[in-house]
Structure 1
Amino acid sequence: MINARKLAIAATTGALAFGFAAEAFAAEVTWNVSLWGNRRAFTENVEYLAERVAKESNGRFEIKLHYGASLSKARENLDGISIGAFEMAQICASYHADKNPTLTVLELPFLGVSDLKTEARVSMKLYEQDVVKKDLARWNAIAFMPTPMPQYNFLGKGEAPTSIKDFDGMRVRALGGIGELMRAVGAVPTTVTAAETYQAMESGTVQAASFAPHAHLAFKTVEVGNWWTANMNPGTVQCPVVMNSDAYAALPDDLKKILDESVQPAVDHYIANYETVYDRWWPTLKKQEITQVTFSDAELAALKEKAAPIWKAWVDKMEAQGIPGQELLDKMQAEIKG
């Protein structure tokens, strides 16, 4: 009886000690992040950010990642941020262009961004602009970390195009300025979300989709398509990580500093990791017997000429809303040139 009693007391004491220890090491601050799809190259910046913040804060600041649109649909992440449903999210400007018009400047076609480092640097400069801060403040949001992506080439199903003219009448998944560019050559752009694209291509709702390589792999368009535009390189999509401004303001100064100082290392990790995507990309194209379509220099030059009217239309639309569109575009072009 005595031994049993001692064991019971010891067990109770141990349980209490464990409970106190767990409480002692519990996070002081927990942020939830709304993400769609599964973990992939696109989310490696957020993955690294969460890991680094936890480490640098000794577990006091936890960033919990929620995949599969479990907190919010991709098109509704900005709305969720605005009401404080979660503290952080990835968004893509084209999913709700009217809600964040200033971000779409970097979605214009043929801006001349040559690599991910440039895309990241220019994106950070964009987020620093007062007009962008004001734009996102309407949603209680702050854009604080880019998700730089390479050129959005098309992967399609059916007869492969042999010239740009072959896109005439083709229904394509193309966002933002890329969509406007394709409209200019006679294609019919749609804004199907990434998660919906495989089904859209398989069913024939769209015949081709513009994605970065990681997304063609992650959302399995490579399993349904049979051709890919290897050198069109029309542009990309702007997908920042945003945070709720009230949540950020409420952070203790030391945790705010840790978060701020973790952004660049997270972006560096993302860019380094993205290089590994191509280790899978090229073998996958070969395995799936996907035809790589290349266009002549003359055709690409003619396609690029269609960008200027799209830029002008974007500027006019911004100016009509009281946004200094030309000034913002000029700043971004200067930043791209370095």
Structure 2
Amino acid sequence: MKILSLLRTAMFGTALLATAGASFAQQPKVLNLAFVGRTTAPEGIAMTAFAEEIKTKTNGRIEIRLHPGGALGGDREVLEGLQIGTVDLTVPSTSVIANFVPEVQVFDIPFLFRDFDHAQAVLDGPIGQEILAKFKAKGLQGLAFGGIGFRQLTNSKRPVNGPEDVKGLKIRTQENQIHLQVWRALGALPTPMALPEVFTALQQGVVDGQENPIGAILNNKFGQVQKYLTITNHAFTPIGFVMAPRAFEALSPDDRQLFLNAAKHAMAICKDEVAKVEKTGIEELRKQGLQIVEKVDTAKFQELLKGTFADLGKRFGEATIARIKDQK
């Protein structure tokens, strides 16, 4: 009986170990995806779809854990986290990526793109892919490019009908040298600032205004602390889907291709969501009490930026800019 009891105990212990081993083996690989937008923003909806696609197509082997709303820091902090391996994925504006990969700054040239279709064709085409390939040397793995729409100007001081109304306005910008150069050329006082800090800065009058796509203006509730919106369409806002090289290289070749495909699919979803937001967003902001200036003579803005355009042509090469403008 004693021997039988010992055998049963041993078998029970073996069964427990087998169960624990199976349970351990079933634990998903968790990757952290941080971004400054909200889950209701176009890029947030796209990232949720990306996480779902990865989970479904790996049968739960890989889980993408979302950290929206700047929970792990601003775009620059998160990109630095990718470089040192504390964050796995992010989807920041290329205006911030430019601090790490200067070549993406060509996309920040004002009035460069005709419309979203033109911008996406450039980003998915040879020029975009050539630039995406440069991320690796900077400790980043580029997955795909997308966009969150054209930038518009809000402020709390006065309606902006033309560039003369911009003079003297303290405008929050992204941490990007071209944006600073452009707003200075227009007579504004640009102030670079991480997105999570902007609402409070507007509320307290640290800055008079900011510029962002309609979706970002809505999702960050800037309409609550601004009085005027001008539809300037002065610059397109590309985003880069970026991964930590360490995390990317740890994937199998099949999973790497899955991530690349899912990232591109997510960027297509983001584009569709931007279109939805822009259809209704201006009216929503009008309902919130903003005075909207919809008809703007952008030629006046471009006239003031002639010197800036000449400087940027020398910097990036007129041939490169022409390739972008000629993209069908």
Q: Give the alignment's TM-score, normalised by structure 2.
A: 0.84
Distance verdict in 2 for CA 1:198–1:224, change over 3 Å: same
Report the counterpart of residue 244 of structure 2 in structure 1.
244
3-state DSSP of counterpart to 1:289: coil
Residue 138 of structure 1 corresponds to which residue in structure 2? 137
Secondary structure of 2:190's aligned partner: strand
Residue 158 (structure 1) aligns with: 157
Tell me if the contact between 2:70 and 2:196 (Cα under 8 Å) persists in the aligned partners.
Answer: no
Answer yes or no: is the 8 Å Cα contact 2:36–2:75 preserved in 1: yes
- Deviations along 1:259-289, whole A, 9 cap, x unmatched? 1222332222222222332465234223222
The 8 Å contact of residues 168 and 187 in structure 2, kept in 1 or not, is answered as yes
Aligned residues: 313
Percent identity for Structure 1 against Structure 2 = 22
Change (3 A) 1:142 1:307: farther
Q: Is the 8 A contact 2:214 2:282 kept in 1?
A: no
Partner AA of 1:124 in structure 2: D
Contact 2:163 2:300 in 1 (8 A): no
Q: Is the 8 A contact 1:119 1:149 kept in 2?
A: no
1:112-151 equivalent positions in 2, closer than 5 A = 112-115=113-116, 117-125=117-125, 126-129=127-130, 133-134=133-134, 136-151=135-150
After TM superposition, the structure 1 stretch with the greater mean CA deviation from structure 2, 96-105 or 210-219, is 96-105
1:81 maps to 2:79 = no
Q: Summarize the Cα distance change of 1:18–1:291 in structure 2 as closer, same or farther, 3 Å threshold.
A: farther
Q: 2:312 aligns with which of 299, 311, 314?
A: 314
| Residue 45 of structure 1, CA deviation | 2.4
Q: Distance in 2 between matches of 1:286 and 1:264?
A: 33
Tell me: CA distance 1:18–1:333, structure 2 relative to 1, closer, same or farther (3 Å): farther
- Give 1:169's aligned residue: 168
Q: Which amino acid aligns with 1:329?
A: I
Give the Cα separation in 2 of the matches to 1:268 and 1:114.
Answer: 15
- The SS at the match of 1:240 is strand
Whether the aligned pair in 1 keeps the contact of 2:145 and 2:264 (CA below 8 Å) is no
Does structure 1 residue 305 correspond to structure 2 residue 303?
yes
Distance 1:188 1:329 in 2: 27
Q: Which amino acid aligns with 1:301?
A: A
Counterpart-to-counterpart distance in 2, 1:328 and 1:163: 29
Instruction: Please say if residues 149 and 238 of structure 2, whose CA atoms lie closer than 8 Å, have aligned partners that are also in contact.
Output: no
| C-alpha distance after superposition, 1:75-126 (max 9, x if no partner) | 22222111222221122333363422111111110003312x4323322334
Q: Amino acid of the residue matched to residue 172 of structure 1?
A: I
Residues 45-76 of structure 1 deviation map (CA, whole Å, 9 limit, x = unaligned)? 22211110111111122222222433343222
Which residue does 1:329 correspond to in 2? 321
Cα 1:31–1:221 shift into 2, 3 Å: same
Contact 1:110/1:307, CA 8 A, preserved across alignment: no
1:163 CA drift (Å) = 3.2
Instruction: Report deviation, 1:180.
Output: 2.8
Q: 1:63 to 1:118 in 2, by over 3 A?
A: farther
1:94 aligned partner = 95
Specify the SS of the correspondent of 1:138.
Answer: helix
Question: Which runs of 5 or more structure 2 residues have no equivalent in the other structure?
Answer: 1-12
Please give the residue correspondences for 1:37-52 in structure 2 after superposition, counting only pairs within 5 Å: 37-39=37-39, 40-52=41-53
1:197-235 Cα deviation digits (max 9, x unpaired):
1112112221121110111111111111111113x2111
| Contact 2:146–2:268 (8 Å) recurs in 1 | no
Following superposition, the deviation at residue 326 of structure 1 comes to: 4.1
Which residue of the partner structure matches residue 269 of structure 1?
Answer: 269
Structure 1 residue ranges without an equivalent (≥5):
1-11, 319-324
Q: What CA distance in whole angstroms lies between the structure 1 residues aligned with 2:99 and 2:272? A: 33
* 1:291 matched residue in structure 2: 291
SS at match of 1:148: strand
Asked if 2 retains the 8 angstrom alpha-carbon contact of 1:163 and 1:295, the reply is: no
Residue pair 2:161, 2:230 contacting (<8 A) in 1 also: no
Identify if the C-alpha distance between structure 1 residues 100 and 315 changes in structure 2 by more than 3 Å, giving closer, same or farther. Answer: farther
Give 3-state SS (helix, strand or coil) of 2:148's partner: coil
